[in-house]
Amino acid sequence: MEPTQNTKDRITWHLACNVNDIPEDGGGTALIEGKQIAIFNFTRRGEWYATDNECPHRQQMAIGRGMIGSQGEEPKVACPFHKKTFSLKSGDCLNDEGYKINTFPIIIKENQVYIGL
């Protein structure tokens, strides 16, 4: 893992994995700077997302194993434990107002996935 560049607003980009490591229309989990980050390859929409791997509902490290999909236009992920769903864009929980996860910037360069922390 090597930090690659520094942008103006002090995001540090970290190499997470190869695009092939994340299944199409699915997710995976990467360990970055000791932090567990869930990464989603939303092939159907041609989009990539990164969020916390920990579900705030019962503190389970499981979001990366969750199922993705959409609610209206909003892309979302469902925690495999109790199916709380979170917007992949804002991190807001869509079926229980009390919860929220962090989302992170993500870019793909030459088949490599980079996460901004």
Partner 1 sequence: MKTNANTHIVVIGNGMVGYKFCEKLLARKKNDQEFMLTVFGEEPRVAYDRVHLSEYFAGKTADDLTMAGQEWYIENGIRLFLSDPVVDIDREEKLVRSHHGHVVHYDYLVMATGSGAFVPSIPGVEKDGVFVYRTIEDLELIQAYARKAKKGAVLGGGLLGLEAAKALLDLGLEEAHVVEFASRLMPRQIDDAGSKILQSQLESLGLNIHLAKSTQEIVGNDCIKGMQFVDNSFLDVDMLVISAGIRPRDELAKIAGLETHPRGGIVVDNGLKTSDPYIFAIGECALAHHMIYGLIAPGYEMADVVANALTGVEKEFLPYDMSTKLKLIGTDVASFGDPFIEEPACKTIRYENKAKGIYKRINVSPDGKELLGGILVGDAEQYNMLLQTCKNKTILPPDSEDLILGSRGGEEAGLGVMSLPDDALICSCEAITKGMLCQEVGEKGNNSIDLLKKSCKAGTGCGGCVPLVKDIIQGVMKQNGQYIKTVICEHFDHSRQELLDLVKMNILKTYGEVLNEYGHGDGCEVCKPVVASLLASLWNENVLTKDRAPIQDSNDRYLANIQKGGTYSVVPRIPGGEITPDKLIVIGQVAKKYGLYTKITGGQRIDLFGAHLNDLPIIWEELIDAGFESGHAYGKALRTVKSCVGSTWCRFGVQDSVSFAIEIEDRYKGIRAPHKFKSAVSGCVRECAEAQSKDFGIIATEKGWNLYVCGNGGSKPQHAQLLASDVDKETCVKLIDRFLMFYIKTADPLTRTATWLNKMEGGLSYLKAVIVDDLLGLASAFEEEMQTLINNYKCEWKEVVDSPELRKRYNHFVNVPEKDPTITFEEMRTQKRAKEWV
Rounded Cα distance between 49 and 86, Å, is 12
What 3-state class would DSSP assign to 73? Answer: coil
Among 4, 6, 7, 24, binds partner 1 (CB under 8 A): 24
Rounded Cα distance between 7 and 67, Å, is 32
37 phi, psi to nearest 5 deg: -120, 130
Candidates 1-9, 17-25, 30-38, 80-88 — which segment interacts with ligand FES by CB under 6 A? Answer: 80-88
Among 6, 18, 61, 82, binds ligand FES (CB under 6 A): 82
Whichever of 84 and 91 has its CB closer to partner 1, that residue is 84
Q: What is the largest CA-CA distance in the chain?
A: 39
Euclidean distance between the first and the last CA atom of the chain, given in angstroms as a whole number = 13
Whichever of 14 and 84 has its CB closer to ligand FES, that residue is 84
Among 55, 88, 101, 106, binds ligand FES (CB under 6 A): 55
Residue numbers at the binding site for partner 1 (CB under 8 A): 1, 16-17, 21-32, 36, 39, 42, 44-45, 58-62, 65-72, 75-76, 78, 80-81, 83, 85
